[in-house]
Amino acid sequence: MFKTLKNYYMFCNKMNRNKLLSALALGVVKAMFATLRIPAIAVILQGILDDDMSMRNVWLSLIIMGISVLGQVLVGLKTCMLQCEAGYDTCSAKRIEIAEHLRYLPMGFFNANSLGKITNITTNTMEQMADVATLVVMMTTQGIVTTSVILMFMLFFDIRIALIILAGIMLFSACNALMQKATIPAAPRKAKADENLVSAVIEYVQGIAEVKNYNLTKNSAVKLRGAISEKQAADTNMEYTVVPFMCMQGIVTKLTGVVMSLASVWFYLNGTMPLLYAILMVISSFMVYESLDLMGSFSALLRNVNIIIDQANEVLAIPPMDIDGENVHPVNRDLELKNVSFAYEDRSIINNVSLKIPSGTTTAIVGPSGGGKTTLTYLISRFWDVNSGEVLLGGRNVKEYSFDSLMKNFSFVFQRVYLFEDTIANNIRFCEPDASMERVIEAAKKARCHEFIMALPDGYDTVIGEGGASLSGGEKQRISIARAIMKDAPIIILDEATANVDPENEADLTGAIEELTNNKTIIMIAHRLKTVRHADQIVVVDNGSIAQKGTHEELMSEEGIYRDFVSERKEAVSWKIA
C-alpha cells in the first residue's frame, strides 16, 4: 500500500508533489478536527454521569462539535482541491510528456506497437490517472491519516486500547499486502485486455466501409466480440481475485471495533477504566471502523494505480533518438548518403546505399513495391537512424542536428494525408499556429484549394472531421500541400502524392505541387512516367539497393528494371507507369 502511494508521489512533478504534501498535512489537521467529536461527547457524558447537566455543558459541547464540523468541512475542501489539482495536473502533464516523447521515437516503434496501445495509454490510462487514481490515493491517504491520528489520540487515554487499534491496523495492512500480491498475475492480463479492446474498436471503425462493402458485418465483429469477451473475463478474474481479501479486510475492520468495545467494557467491569472512558472508547470504535473501512473500500484499486503508472512509464522509458544536437543552419542543402545500411529488427531493408542529391535538383525514386523506397526517404529525414554509414545534409551528419532544426529543412506530402479535427485554417497553419489569415489564404490559393474552401459552409472556419473524413482525397491532398507551402522548407519529399487522385483533381493537384516545389530540392517516390521522366536523376531501388541510376534517357538506353517496365508494360504488379 505504502509503496504504491510512494510510486504515485514520485510519478508527479515537483509542483504536484508539494500539493500532495500540503494535502497530507491538512489531512492531519482534518483528522484532528474529526477527533474533537470525542471531547464534545465527553462533555455531555460527564454532565450526565456527575448528575450535573447544565446549559453550560450543552453549549460547550455544541461549540466543540461546531468547530469539529466546520473545521472538517473547510480543511477537507482545501485538501480535496489540492489532491484533485495534483491528480488532474499530473494527468495533463504526463499526456504532454508522452506526446513529446513520442515525437522523438524512431518510426519502428509505431510499426511494432499497435495504435491501440498508444491510444489506450494516452486516453484510457491517463483518464484513469485523473479520475480513479486521484480518488483512490485521496481516500486511502485520508483513511491512513485519520486512523493514525485516532491511534495517537488513544495513547493519551489508554495504551491498551491503542494497542488493539495498532493490532487491527497491522492485520488490515497484512490483508492488503496479500491482496496486492495476489493481483500481480491478473494485472498484465487486464492491461492487455484493455489495450486489445481499444485496438479492436479502432480497427472495426476504420474498416467499416470495407466490412459493409463485402457484407461481412457479422464476421468482422468476431474479433471485436472476442476482445470484449476477454475484457469481461479479465475484469471478472480481477474481481474474483480481490473479493476474498476485501472480505478479510472488512472482517478485520469490524472485529477491531468489536474488540475495542468489548475490551472497554471488560476494563470498566474489572475497575481498570472509568465509565466515562469506557463509553468514549466504545464510541471511538465506530470512528476507527469508519476510517479503516474507508481505506478498505478503495485499497483494492491501488493495484490499478500501479498499473497506470507502469504503463505510462513503459512508454517514457523507451529510448528516444539522440535529438540533442546543434541548431544547425546549413549553408547549402546538398544531401548525401554514404554506405548507408538499415535493418528493422532482424530484416535487412537498405543495403550499403550511396547517393548524392545536389541542392535544387529533382530526384525520382522508383522501383518495385517493398524495395525500400519509402525507408530511404525516412532515413534521409531521420525518421529512422541508420545502422551503419551516414546521411549528410549540407556536409554535416544529420545526427549532429537537433531534431527540430533538422525538420525545418523538410516538408512532406504523403499519399495518405492526415488532417486534424479542426478548422481548415488551423490545419493549414499547423506548422505556424500564429500565422495571419492573409498568409493562410495565400498558401491555399497557391495549393489550388481556395475556391473549394470558400464554397464550404463556413469557409476557412469550417471544422473538418478527424482525418479529413468530410473532404475528398484530392481536397485533402491539396490542403496538405497548402500546409507544406506555409512551412516553406527547402527540401520537399513527395511519397506517391498523385498515385490515387481522380482526373478531376489531377490538374489542380499538379499545379499545387508545382507551386510547392518551385526552386526547391525535390525527392519524389512516383510510379508515373510523366512524373519522373523530367527528373534530374532517377534512382531505381530494388531489394534495398540501388539497381540503376541516371536520367530517363540514360536508363532507357541500357538494359535493366527501368526499361523493362517502360517497354514491356504500362502497368506492373508493384508499380505503374502512365
Domains within the chain, CATH numbers bracketed: 2-316 (1.20.1560.10), 327-409+490-496+521-578 (3.40.50.300), 415-488 (3.40.50.300)
Position 80 scores a pLDDT of: 83
What DSSP string describes 335-398?
EEEEEEEEEETTEEEEEEEEEEE-TT-EEEEE-STTSSHHHHHHHHTTSS--SEEEEEETTEEG
The amino acid occupying position 445 is K
Position 113 scores a pLDDT of: 52
**Rounded distance, CA 12 to CA 21, Å?**
11
**Exposed, middle or buried: residue 405 (CB in 10 Å: 0-12, 13-18, 19+)?**
middle
From its phi and psi, is residue 382 left (phi > 0), alpha (psi between -120 and 50) or beta?
left
Q: Do 479 and 419 touch, CB atoms closer than 8 A?
A: yes
Position 335 scores a pLDDT of: 92
Position 175 scores a pLDDT of: 83
Position 296 scores a pLDDT of: 66
Residue with cell 504504491: 4
- Report residue 571: phi and psi, to 5°: -135, 120
Q: Do 504 and 474 touch, CB atoms closer than 8 A?
A: yes
pTM score, whole prediction = 0.63
**Rounded distance, CA 21 to CA 83, Å?**
9
Position 467 scores a pLDDT of: 59
The amino acid occupying position 229 is S
Residues 6+ apart with CB under 8 A from 3: none
Position 569 scores a pLDDT of: 46
**Rounded distance, CA 196 to CA 120, Å?**
9
Residue stretches of the chain with pLDDT short of 50: 112, 569, 572-578
Position 527 scores a pLDDT of: 66
Position 577 scores a pLDDT of: 44
Task: At 90, list the grid cell.
Answer: 499530473
Residue with cell 517496365: 565
pLDDT digits (tens, 9 = 90+) for 492-515: 888 876 655 555 666 777 777 777
Nearest to 42 by CA among 5, 9, 6, 68: 68
Q: Whats the size of the chain, residue-wise?
A: 578
**Rounded distance, CA 509 to CA 39, Å?**
82
Q: Are strands 537-542 and 545-550 parallel, antiparallel or unpaired?
A: antiparallel
Beta bridge partners of 335: 357, 393
Position 340 scores a pLDDT of: 92
Rg, the chain, Cα only = 34
